[in-house]
Amino acid sequence: MAFDLSPCVGLTTPHPDPLVKLYTSLFELAPNHSIDGLKLTSESLSFFVDPGQRQSPILELSTPDLFAARPLLRALGFEELTWHGEGQLNLLSDPFGISWNIFQTLPESTWPIISPNPPIILPKIALHLHESTKAAQFYADLLQQSATKTPSGWTIDSNHIRLVIEPGLPHGPAFYVDPNNSQDPQALIEFFGDKTTQTDDYGVTWKLSPRPTSNTAAIIN
């Protein structure tokens, strides 16, 4: 069975209000309160914000069959942390230390969001890992998609989202932003300063979108 990348990301912080204020202002995310909690949405990714001890962002995999997914994920080396079943939190950690929620849904039922405005936060998620080539093979097998070699690492496309895997010190998922799509690009430029990667006060890492390159070759299928 196949898994797909989901546009949903989980964030946990002891004090959500300052985070919400920053993200709605800087990244122009739209807050949405519901019985499921607080969600900050854009045209590309949605961030679910929960109060609690700060931790690395939680990514999400969607699957059409949650029951069948559970033993398969165990066989792939995922460590089960919490499993509450359909429509609830099913939290696992993969062999590279990345946390995932597993959600039963059809990816095309909620994604992509059609909008005439290009998003500030791009549909790209970066993982910096010591064993980037091994990780690329693992995620390519998990998502049943090809991994493409780039000058800086690997990319895998799933459900309109690009997973970028690069060698480096692991620090949790990072998210790409494009100041050119912002109503206030100067605010984003000031946020990054002279850096291309910045970690905010809530432990979330952001990357300036690099210029596109055509120097790629598909390696892993």
What phi and psi, each to the nearest 5 degrees, are found at residue 139? -70, -30
Q: How many CB atoms lie within 10 A of CB 179?
A: 16
Could you report the per-residue pLDDT of 64-119, keeping only the tens digit for each?
A: 999 999 999 999 999 999 999 988 999 999 999 999 999 998 655 555 555 567 88
Please indicate, yes or no, whether residues 104 and 125 belong to a single structural domain of this protein.
no
* Residue 26 near residue 191 (C-beta atoms within 8 A): yes
pTM of the model: 0.90
**132 in Cβ contact with 154 (< 8 Å):** yes
Question: In angstroms, rounded to a whole number, what is the distance separating the alpha carbons of residues 94 and 78?
Answer: 4
Asked if residue 115 belongs to a domain, the reply is: no
Convert the pLDDT of each residue in 6-50 to its tens digit: 999 999 999 999 999 999 999 999 999 877 789 999 989 999 999
CB atoms under 10 Å from CB of 108, counted, come to: 10
Number of structural domains the chain divides into: 2
> Residue 92, SS3?
strand
Any domain includes 114? no
Are residues 203 and 151 located together in one domain of the fold? yes
Q: Please check whether residue 137 lies inside any domain of the structure.
A: yes
Q: How many CA atoms lie within 13 A of 178 on its CB side?
A: 16
- Rounded distance between C-alpha atoms, residue 147 and residue 39, angstroms: 31
Residue-range definition of the domain harbouring residue 74: 4-109
- Tokens read off for 105: 């849904």
Query: What does R_g of the chain's alpha carbons equal in angstroms?
Result: 17
For residues 105 and 127, state if they share a domain. no
In sequence order, the 6+-apart residues with CB closer than 8 A to the CB of 83 are 70, 90, 91
Q: What is the pLDDT of residue 215?
A: 45
Q: Which of 50, 84, 109 finishes a domain?
A: 109
CA distance 31 to 19: 11
Residues 94 and 44 grouped into a single domain: yes
